[in-house]
Structure 1
Amino acid sequence: MNKSKTGVLLINLGTPDSPSVSHVRSYLSQFLNDPRVIDIPAIARLLLVNLIIVPFRAPKSAKVYKEVWTEEGSPLLTISNNVAQLLDKELGDDYDVHLAMRYKNPNIVDVLEQMRLKNYNKIVVLPMFPQYASASTGSAYELVMDVVKKWWVIPEIRFVGQYFDNPDFIDAILDRASKYNIDDYDHVLFSYHGLPDRHVDKVYQDGLCSDRDCEHELTEENKYCYKATCYATTRLIAEKLNLPEDRYTVCFQSRLDKKWLTPFSDKVVEEWGKKGAKKLLVFSPAFTADCLETIIEIGDEYQEIFEEHGGEKVQLVESLNEHPLWIKCLKDLVIN
């Protein structure tokens, strides 16, 4: 009898199939209609997303996606595919690694059907999101469970949770940063993807996130608060870099409105330009693969903002992408 294999489902957030307006519109529609992303009553979300946000945002976003697109396609998808192949090779013959995107393609439903037909002994679900958020990890988990609950034969399934404190994950970020001399920079930013304030408030049984000290400590109560884990990630990196608190700022990018986690990254960049800073170094520890938010938003848009206010250089520390320590981190998460 052949030894049963374990199937690994590696999940990233998603990307349009092409930078065309129609494909970007389809991607944004699927993404923003997810009730875990825009968590307001269904009718209000339907009207807001489909009549206001998507029609106005799709043409603008399509232009930005064209800037980031390569001959191989979407950087996020290309890098994620490479990671999946490297992880598959590292894990060896007892594992098969499959890549899926939460939004668009390769989509989770189709990839899970391929995995069902393989009749795996066990399936490991591994989102590429180091910090938990309901809009990323939670949404991916929910869709997987919605699909699998309809299977007649449900194998053992393990969901890998957040791993922002994994030593290999932290060391991979440090190695990425090693080619930059931090002393050459006036200030360091740790820029994370933003979330609405209400998303982190919902983590708690009583009160609000702002009632806690999420900026300074991680507790049993706030361990699934995205804000708290972003600050905890930063402390782990800053400690290894011997970076004192006054030398860095934790901030949040890609907001839809003002009621999102603050401070906003673009405003922090602007403020440091006005203060006379000439060089900023920016980490993006929530993004494990370079994408529109890192390449364009940080690399281009923040550079323009900084220059407008007297600064000279915003230097992005590249995402983990195919870094060997990142692959080792993922391998350990699957096996252990």
Structure 2
Amino acid sequence: MKTGILLINLGTPDAPTPGAVGRYLTEFLGDGRVIDIPWLPRKILVNGIISPTRRFKSSAEYKKVWTDAGSPLLLYSQELTKKLQTRFEGEDVTVELAMRYQSPSMDSVMARMEKANYDRIIIVPLYAQYASATTGSTIEKAFKIISKWYVIPEITAVSQYWDDDMYINGFVTRAQKFDLESYDHFLFSYHGLPERQVDKVYEDRQCSNHSCEDEINEENKFCYKATCYATTRAIAERLGIKEEDYTVCFQSRLDSKWLRPFADEVVEEQAEKGAKRLLVFSPAFVADCLETLIEIGEEYDKDFQEAGGEKLDLVPSLNADDDWVDALESLARKRMV
């Protein structure tokens, strides 16, 4: 069967300038699944407050990670796409890359895929843990585009893969390059979400009632908080890290009603308890980007040292390494049977 594999990452500004960053923030935060409040208040908040004020600070931060070739997240994603394509050499399979926000846009990439007349398309959002604001938004956008096609081929969308052995082993392998015994504590930092968004997963609208920190069950299997904790347990178990030696936390919050504990506060608390060395994992990001390289690698390291710690290290993400390509090839082939 003629197959198209579509990798979709969240997105990045086209340039580290206030204008480009503002356009990115406006599109990203204007998504009703990202800021899930009514349209008019969301538009006023994003277009009138967040984007105009944050574009300058965010632009300065993007300049720190920007390379001569462009955004790290985009470059890793492009390299990943090229490597994955080589795994299907000699087969009627084409691997495409799109971003949920900005370039390359889902509209332009999927217009090209429509013309290719595939028998089947496999959509792989590059987020291991399901969240409405990431995977949900991405799949919804893809289906909206496809719904306008006259001919719709067989469509498969991968909703999450946090429990995939090869994905888990990717972070285990990277952590094993560090002297784990030299660290006083380990943090597993995931991108934050408003509490109301995980509450919406449940009929009773209360995530706190569903053992999300302790187990995966039939009710919480699509809860972002539950899968973050489950991802952590899987990595920690394979590395032999005891439960009392690690903390799950959440970064990049917009206000106080987001998932707790907050990563920046945990970093300072560990220093105040006497920890001198911290090792941080960020498994929600499969490519290093602003949130890992700057927020964790630079800002949290600075906060930790100012609070009395000595060094905070970051476990690199999967990026475009061969074992991550292996994992994506496996995920795709399982859906090509």
Q: Indicate the TM-score class for this superposition, using the shorter chain for normalisation.
A: over 0.9
Distance 1:61 1:50 in 2: 15
Match of 2:106 among 105, 108, 112: 108
Q: 1:44 aligns with which of 41, 58, 64?
A: 41
Which residue pairs with 1:84 in the alignment?
A: 81
In structure 2, C-alpha distance between the alignment counterparts of 1:316 and 1:243, rounded to whole Å: 16
One-letter code of the match for 2:36? D
Residue 255 of structure 1 is matched in structure 2 by: 253
- Superposition pairs of residues 161-180 of structure 1, within 5 angstroms: 161-180=159-178
Indicate if the aligned counterparts of 2:268 and 2:303 stay in contact, CA closer than 8 A: yes
- Indicate the SS of the match to 2:87: helix
- In 2, the alpha carbon distance for the partners of 1:87 and 1:248 equals 34
Q: Are 1:282 and 1:316, in contact at CA under 8 Å, matched by a contact in 2?
A: yes
The counterpart of 1:32, out of the listed 23, 29, 34, is 29
How far did 1:326 drift? 1.2
Whether the aligned pair in 1 keeps the contact of 2:251 and 2:262 (CA below 8 Å) is: yes
Structure 2 contact 182–277 (Cα < 8 Å) conserved: yes
2:305 alignment partner in structure 1: 307
- Tell me the equivalent position of 1:239: 237
| Distance of 1:126 and 1:212 partners within structure 2 | 28
Equivalent residue, structure 1, for 2:11: 14
Question: Partners of 1:32 and 1:91 in 2: how far apart?
Answer: 36
Listed one character per residue, the Cα deviations across residues 253-298 of structure 1 (whole Å, up to 9, x for unaligned) are 0000000000000000010111121100000000000000000000
In 1, distance between residues paired with 2:181 and 2:213? 24
| SS of equivalent residue, structure 1 residue 318 | coil
CA distance in 1, matches of 2:45, 2:170: 40
Q: Secondary structure of 2:168's match? A: helix
Relative to structure 2, which stretch is displaced further, 157-166 or 91-100? 91-100
1:37-93: CA deviation from partner (whole Å, max 9, x where unpaired):
000011110111111111111111000000110111000000000001111111233
CA–CA separation in structure 2 for the residues paired with 1:17 and 1:42: 26
- Conserved? CA contact 1:7–1:122, under 8 Å: yes
Structure 1 residue runs of 5 or longer lacking an equivalent are: none
Letter of the 2:41 counterpart: A
Q: Determine the structure 1 residue equivalent to 2:331.
A: 333
CA deviation profile, 1:84-127 (whole Å, cap 9, x unmatched): 11111112332100000000000001000010111111100001
Q: Which residue of 2 aligns with 1:287?
A: 285
Residues 1:154 and 2:184 aligned together: no
Gaps of 5+ in 2: none
Q: Retained in 1: the 8 A contact 2:100–2:106?
A: yes
Paired residues, number: 333
State the percentage of identical aligned residues.
56
Checking the alignment, whether the CA contact within 8 Å between 1:172 and 1:323 is kept in structure 2 is no
Query: How far off its partner does 1:172 sit?
Result: 1.0
Query: Which portions of structure 1, spanning 4 or more consecutive aligned residues, are displaced by more than 2 angstroms?
Result: 91-94
Matched to 1:332, the amino acid is: S
Q: Is the 8 A contact 2:210 2:219 kept in 1?
A: no
CA contact (8 A) 1:84 1:99 kept: yes
Equivalent position of 2:141 in the other structure: 143
Partner deviation per Cα, 1:184-228 (whole Å, 9 max, x = no partner) = 001000000000000100000114001221000100100000000
Structure 1 equivalent of residue 63 of structure 2: 66
TM-score computed with the length of structure 1 as normaliser: 0.98
1:196 equivalent to 2:172? Answer no
Distance 1:207 1:154 in 2: 35
Amino acid at match of 2:45: L
Deviation at 1:323, TM superposition (A): 2.1
Tell me the equivalent position of 1:219: 217
SS at match of 1:91: coil
Which secondary structure does the structure 2 equivalent of 1:125 belong to? Answer: strand
- Partners of 1:174 and 1:244 lie apart in 2 by 15
Quote the offset at 1:231 in angstroms.
0.2
- 8 A Cα contact 1:170 1:236, kept in partner: yes
- Which whole-Å CA distance do the structure 2 matches of 1:46 and 1:160 have between them? 30
